[in-house]
Amino acid sequence: MRQHRLSLCGEHFLEWFIARTERFIEKYGMFGPEDRVLVAVSGGKDSLALWDVLLRLGYDVRALYINLGINGQRYSGESKARVERFAVEREGADFQVVDVRQAYGKSVPELASEKWGRKVCSLCGLVKRHIMNRMACEGGFAAVATGHNLDDEAAVLFQNVIHWQTGYLARQAPVLPSTHPRLARKVKPFFRFYERDTAAYALLRGIDYIYDECPYAEGATTIFYKELLNQLEARSRGAKQQFYLSFLQARQEEGLFSRAMEELELGECVRCGQPTTAPGLCAFCRLWEMS
Amino acid sequence: MRQHRLSLCGEHFLEWFIARTERFIEKYGMFGPEDRVLVAVSGGKDSLALWDVLLRLGYDVRALYINLGINGQRYSGESKARVERFAVEREGADFQVVDVRQAYGKSVPELASEKWGRKVCSLCGLVKRHIMNRMACEGGFAAVATGHNLDDEAAVLFQNVIHWQTGYLARQAPVLPSTHPRLARKVKPFFRFYERDTAAYALLRGIDYIYDECPYAEGATTIFYKELLNQLEARSRGAKQQFYLSFLQARQEEGLFSRAMEELELGECVRCGQPTTAPGLCAFCRLWEMS
């Protein structure tokens, strides 16, 4: 926690981390004690730490694990085992599983192999967003929570700025409100934590998580942007946080990217009924249509 | 010229470079054949190349060299010698000199040594902008032209984005129109060229320029940002250009940062009469006031 100029022992770090998460949940109006929250877990440090913290804070939380079928079930299998072990060790840690292959007929890599020119990571993101939203809406959850940390958010911001993708810049946020009855609120309670903090929390708490990056993420652009931002942070402590927070502030105070926001009009997919900006089928349903 | 996928021999490169400069001057409405243009020269490759190209294109151009007194005249002396040699070798290459120490009593480093907590580079920029504007207005020039290339502009954009300095983001442009009778138009005819292209032009043309960076620039933030952008460019060819051009496009098409632009109200400095947003003395006059 060099950016906070704090030195804490393990026990106090855990307390500090939990209290800070609660403060951000409240400050940014993510959800309240009365809300049912669906936390998306991958088996990695961030999402398992989030699940742990939300349980300790007494929120009404249930986890969702999406089996993407990465590496012939090997990577996904190991991830799922971490989720199962986590749940066994904790009271009230309920979770549900959606297996993409069972539900839709193909794993994400199988789907990707049929889609020329589409990257696995981009397809995977689309599939996960669709399923998270569907499970949240069908289950009557008030919000979907994901474990994105500050390093994740800053890297995405960086990528969006390098390409001046104003539509994405308009919508990147720690809280995405529901703008349609079938669109769940999305929240990121860890968005103010550096990655090293969420890793420290998981380690100190003794959470057994999957260390390896997804094999498809190797050489991914996001990882490259993270490395550039790490160089920035190494030169100027707190730079990453300042980059992201001053973006949120400038957008809020000066209405930046508001025009790109206005352009979004939501219809409903004729097949699955989920909100979409596309006419006819949503991007998710088009995936399966064409293959 | 890897980003253009062109392979040119030396002679055709020089032709291509000159034609392209002319096209950008016209496309962005920088100035016309009837305008008197003041080109700010430092003795470096970019500004001497710009002076050379503008002379060859037949524009009504005069150069301004500002002697900042860097390194006890050693760095500045060598820079000035390059400017003098350039002028001797070319017909119609007229230039004038403003010596900061003679005109105001102190060199830039002497001034900086008295200003605790102010960086030499920031002071130097302020001094140069003031003098360029004064000489342009007093001399009745239609525009001040500087040799900034794409690498320079992208690095400044990057720095402004990292800090979300919306005021600067509103005003960073290849052409800054005059918004006050005593504020000269500022233009950057090389803003679409990569630094390697302006360097190639200077070398092929046999221009003797000062290779060394200013000694105060060592470790400068702008150089650090240039290095990060070079990593980006190495990974994705053309990324730097796309970053800058998509910024200009998004700002123009979506009115980005327009609110930050509106807030600027110009008054006049009570001492020098130059436009300023500050009440009373402008930032330049305050420099000498306090020392």
Instruction: Identify all chain B residues contacting A161, using CB atoms and an 8 Å cutoff.
Output: 161
Query: CB–CB of A228 and B231 under 8 A?
Result: yes
Query: Which range among A192-201, B157-166, B219-228 shows the weakest confidence by mean pLDDT?
Result: B219-228
Average pLDDT over residues A172-198: 96
State pLDDT tens for residues A150-181: 999 999 999 999 999 999 999 999 999 998 99
Distance in angstroms (rounded) separating the CA atoms of residues B290 and B278: 16
DSSP class of residue A8 equals -
Query: Which range among A69-73, B75-79, B197-201 shows the weakest confidence by mean pLDDT?
Result: A69-73
Percent of chain B with pLDDT over 70: 96
- Quote the strand ranges of chain A, DSSP E: 36-41, 60-67, 95-99, 143-145, 175-176, 185-187, 267-268, 275-276
Rounded to 10 degrees, what is the CA torsion of B217, B219, B221, B222? 50
Residue B147 pLDDT class (50, 70, 90 cuts): very high
CA angle A37, A40, A46 (to 5 degrees): 110
How close B31 comes to chain A (CA, Å)?
29
Give B175's strand partners: B187
Q: What amino acid occupies position A73?
A: Q
Predicted pLDDT at A119? 83
Predicted pLDDT at A266? 86
Q: With 90 as the cut, is the pLDDT of residue A10 above it?
A: no
Predicted pLDDT at B263? 60
Tell me the average pLDDT of chain B: 92
Query: Which range among A22-26, A251-255, B36-40, B123-127 shows the weakest confidence by mean pLDDT?
Result: A251-255
Q: A164 — contact with chain B (CB < 8 Å)?
A: yes
Distance in angstroms (rounded) separating the CA atoms of residues A158 and A239: 12
Predicted pLDDT at B117? 74
Predicted pLDDT at B42? 96
Instruction: Identify all chain A residues contacting B260, using CB atoms and an 8 Å cutoff.
Output: 254
Rounded to 10 degrees, what is the CA torsion of B200, B206, B209, B211? 50
Predicted pLDDT at B258? 82
Average pLDDT over residues B243-255: 93
Q: With 80 as the cut, is the pLDDT of residue B185 above it?
A: yes
Predicted pLDDT at A5? 57
Distance in angstroms (rounded) separating the CA atoms of residues A129 and A283: 11
How close A112 comes to chain B (CA, Å)?
23
